[in-house]
Amino acid sequence: MKKLVLYGHPESGHSYKVKLLMDVSGIDYEYQLVDIDLAREDRPEPFRSLSLPRFGEVPLLTHGDDVYVQSNAILCFLAQHLESFGGQDGNAMARAMEWLFWEHNKIGLCLPHLRLARNFFPEQYPVGAIEWLQSRYDADVGRFAKELSDGRPFILGDAISIADFSLAGYVYWANQAEVELPAPVLAWAKRIARLPGWKLPYALLSPERPYVSYGKILGELDIMTEPSLVVA
């Protein structure tokens, strides 16, 4: 049987969505934390050689000699490999992929950037960028909440799919992005947090030692108890 190895980093919601699916599924794999503060050329092997020709980023997944990059593409591979989370039938996979493409262009753009701009690197964002990202977030999270407002447990219905894992990438850092989660999205995030194998991103992505963040807001969402998700 070919071995699965996932490379990721604790500040990476793109890594989180992939590792979360793998942990919830219970699949056997090895995890390697890559120090992305190192220049790409200085990162340890085999990650350096595997990643440099293919965008240079985490997450990266190997399955034997096969290499997979881009978080949502990795989710598609895993769903088909596991024949689960949407990968068990063509129609479910097509519907899940609609959400993966939506996520990457919409909430997967504004939410990570609001987090970077407000919590880590404000100096890198030009005047007006945060307001623009916030307006994008308001529209995108509104669309997401509307989808869930009929009370369905997960995006595609009763069962969790890769669409949910993709959308969950940065949601538990809403406090660091200083954004609110509408009630249906919060309820959905809590539902995911009750799944066996779920952990907050830093614990999930740094399993061997507690990870210490360097942002302005160090903590993550207190998902089960936090009544208000706005952090000033």
Ligand X SMILES: N[C@@H](CCC(=O)N[C@@H](CS)C(=O)NCC(=O)O)C(=O)O
CA pair distance 112, 190, nearest whole angstrom: 20
DSSP lists the bridge partners of residue 66 as 63
Q: How far is the CB of 67 from ligand X (least distance, A)?
A: 13
DSSP alpha helix (H) spans, the chain: 13-25, 47-51, 71-82, 90-105, 107-115, 129-148, 162-167, 174-177, 183-193, 201-205
Least distance in angstroms from the C-beta of 71 to ligand X: 4
Provide the minimum distance between the beta carbon of 72 and ligand X in the complex, in angstroms, as a whole number: 6
User: Shortest gap between Cβ of 138 and ligand X (angstroms)?
Assistant: 23
Residue 124 is classified by DSSP as G
DSSP H helical ranges for 106-173? 107-115, 129-148, 162-167
Output the six-digit token pair for 176. 């660091």
Residue 194 Cβ vs ligand X, minimum distance, rounded to whole Å: 26
Residue number, 55 or 157, with CB nearest to ligand X: 55
Q: Which is nearer to ligand X, 60 or 223 (CB)?
A: 60
Residue 170 CB-density burial (10 A; 0-12 exposed, 13-18 middle, 19+ buried): buried
**Residue 186 or 205 having the CB closest to ligand X:** 205
1 within 8 A of 51, measured Cβ to Cβ: no
Residues within the interface to ligand X (CB under 6 A): 12, 14, 36, 40, 56-59, 70-72
Instruction: Report the residue number, 166 or 175, with the smaller CB distance to ligand X.
Output: 166
**Choice between 103 and 178, CB closer to ligand X:** 103
> Is residue 71 within 8 Å of 17, Cβ to Cβ?
yes
- Cβ proximity to ligand X: between 24 and 36 the closer is 36
Min CB(149)–ligand X separation in Å:
27
